[in-house]
Structure 1
Amino acid sequence: MKKNILYIAMACIALGFTACSDDPEDAVSKHVYGPDESPYLRADADATISLNAEFRKGHVTPKTVYLKDYAEQIQTKMKMTVDDMLAGIESGKVAFHSINTARGIWDMSAMTKGDGWWYNNNGAVVSNDGVASIELDKAAKALVLNVPEGSAAGLSMAANVGFAVVNGKDYDQYVRFTVNFSITDPGTIIQDITIPAGDYASYEFDLTSIENAINACFGMTSADFIATIANTENDIAMYLADDNGNWDTTSGYTAGGIGLWVDVDHKVCNWSGNGYAAGNFYYIETHADDKTVGIGRAPGVPSGTKAKVHFVYASKSDATRFIEFVLNATFE
């Protein structure tokens, strides 16, 4: 009896060995994702490109990120050029999707803003009324980053998109863009001022007193800023702003140097020669030698008159670099 049991055990062991396969896929097969599933996001720090998209409250302009600037990383991770990658989207060889980092998956949601998506404060795709957006501009070979006009300062969130090789199994061969969105308001100077009595008398705003704001907005010291606004040919210009924060970038200077005469309708005007009676109200004038910007009165402005003097100094080459003045003026 014992001999029979031994034979049976040996036979079972032999059958067990013959059932084994040398193919590792027979042991543990990786899940193959179907067209209606969201592939998991394989962690790969080297495939992740981090971008900072800082917008200024009150003057939002889209930011363009050119993919050619990351061509080497795309070539390394996806084994293709930027042109090949974009062509692959059209042929179906490359996928372009949002990424849900909270769940660690590729988000297969349909596009909700052009060739891209709106995102909420948590970085999740929403159908509309998002706080930020990422779109693919195939013609420009770029990602376009934006936030809605009128967005309040304080936004801080991240959204993710990626390009992945479609191999029928997973999205493990990819590049990912993590965009850190923020809206800041470092350079709005709001202050009450009093303009002294007397024809052409002015209040002189000390530009050295806003050193931190100048540095935050322009990346320069107040001394460098003042030296730049001393010459109308340099990169920083003065623009009058209306109540909605829109800049008048078309009017030329009508006061001394970088300066403007403003009429009773708060529009840029020329000096009439007859002061307030002819519509002239006040002037804004850069006084670089004194390190100030002066706000002065036209002859004839009645005592006690009030005005909101609203203007900016802004870079001509990069409109996101500016400092805004909202000065509530009382004329003595």
Structure 2
Amino acid sequence: MKTNLIYLLISFLIVMLGSCNDSIEDASNKHVYSEDENPYLKSDIEAIIGHNIEFEVGRFEPQVIYLDDYANVFHDKMNLTVDEVVSGLKNESVVFYNINASRSHWDKIAPTKGESGWYYNSAGGITEGDQGYVASLEFDEINRQLIIDVNEAAEAGLETSFNVGFALNGPDYDDYVRFLFNVAVTDPSLIITSVTIPDGDYASASVNLYDYADVIAYNMGIDVDEFLSNLDANEEGTIHLYVVDRETGAWDAESSYTANPPGYWMNASGAVCSWGDDGFTLFAELNMDEGLLNIGRAPDLTAGSSYKISLGFRDINDEMNFVRFIITVTLE
């Protein structure tokens, strides 16, 4: 009886050891991903190349990242030159895909922009070009560069992020180089301020341009004195004052000055009008000697009324040089 128990125990141990060996063997084999599966993302901080990219409203131009600038990273992480990475994409020994960082896996979704790029929404998700995209990325194989751009309708305050990566093709994508892009839209040209106009017909309050010397220098490339001397008040100079639509941001390039130049009369909506027109409400005129933007009131306006106007100065020879004001006007 005791002998039978010993044999049973030995048999049980043999079966268990065999099962364990099978489990060990299974665990040591990497999972082979099918075409429809997204491989997991192996964590490797040293493989990440991060870029914080800012786009300025009114000055949107694609920004470029050159792969050659990171040749050492490709060598360390993929043991390839940049030339070999590009040629590997052609023979499919290298892949180029998005990375879903929140789920820690690669995203093999097909390009939605051209043959090797994608559009992204505000949450960093991949989308189509006609479905509310805010940013885009495309790989230029010939010039070996990543091109990042934003939708021309993107507004200041937008922030989004997305990841793409190059990896050796195989049972997994463990050997890779990853690019992380944090994209933001800013508006350094915008000055938001307010004035209170005292009681009285044609009374005014002032915005002192010298208070915003740094903003003017950054956006116009000149100091305030040069800025004032270049205004086109007498049909000379290259800097023009415009009324800007406060809702759409569109610059009114059609209207001539309707107040003392450079200056305008505006209605309650902030649109250009002339003195005496129905609804004429406010005027904006620049005192070029003192650098004061004077905002004044028409007669017979109600005390306590508030308006919002938008004005911009722009170089007519270089429309990338501009500065814009949004001014809240309150009447005493």
Same fold at TM > 0.5: yes
Structure 1 segments, 4+ long, off by >2 Å, are 7-30, 189-193, 203-208, 211-215, 224-232, 237-248, 262-266, 292-296, 307-314, 325-328
Give the Cα separation in 1 of the matches to 2:241 and 2:74: 43
1:88 correspondence with 2:80: no
The offset of 1:150, in angstroms, is 2.2
Q: Does 1:147 align with 2:146?
A: no
Q: Measure, in 1, the Cα distance between the counterparts of 2:34 and 2:108.
A: 12
In structure 1, the residue matched to 2:180 is 178
Match of residue 264, structure 1, among 239, 249, 256: 256
Normalization by structure 2: what TM-score? 0.64
Residue 22 of structure 1: CA displacement? 10
CA 1:238–1:38 in structure 2 vs 1: closer, same or farther (change >3 Å)? farther
Measure, in 1, the Cα distance between the counterparts of 2:108 and 2:7.
57
CA drift of 1:192 comes to: 8.7
Instruction: Extract unaligned runs of 5+ from structure 1.
Output: 194-202, 249-261, 267-282, 297-302
Contact kept in structure 2, 1:239 and 1:247, CA below 8 Å: no
Could you tell me which runs of 5 or more consecutive residues in structure 2 were left unpaired when the two chains were aligned.
Answer: 196-204, 231-236, 259-284, 300-308, 328-332
Tell me the TM-score normalised to structure 1 length: 0.64
In structure 2, do the counterparts of structure 1 residues 159 and 313 end up closer, same or farther at CA, with 3 Å as the change threshold? farther
Shift of 1:56: 1.1
Deviation per CA, 1:149-184, whole angstroms, max 9, x where unpaired? 1211110111111111102x0011111111111111
- Give the structure 2 partner of residue 127 of structure 1: 128
Query: How many residues are aligned here?
Result: 266
Percent identity of the aligned residues?
A: 33
- Residues 29 and 228 of structure 1: is their aligned pair in 2 closer, same or farther, counting only changes over 3 Å? farther
Write the distance in 2 (CA, Å) between the matches of 1:143 and 1:323.
Answer: 29
- What SS class does the counterpart of residue 40 from structure 2 fall into? coil
Counterpart Cα distance in 1 of 2:10 and 2:310: 99
84 and 245 in structure 1: CA distance in 2 versus 1, 3 angstrom threshold: farther
Residue deviations 1:220-254 (CA, integer Å, cap 9, x gap): 9xxx855997999xxxx965587565799xxxxxx
Distance 1:6 1:49, change over 3 A: same
Distance 1:2 1:132, change over 3 A: same
Question: What's the counterpart of residue 3 of structure 1?
Answer: 3
**CA gap 1:180/1:18 in 2 versus in 1, 3 angstroms:** closer
Counterpart-to-counterpart distance in 2, 1:4 and 1:192:
98
Looking at structure 1, the residues matched to 90 and 69 of structure 2 have their Cα atoms a distance apart, in angstroms, of: 22
* Deviation at residue 49 of structure 1 after TM alignment: 1.0
What code does the residue aligned with 2:323 have? E
What is the RMSD computed on CA atoms of the aligned residues? 4.4
**Contact 1:188-1:323 within 8 A present in 2 as well:** no
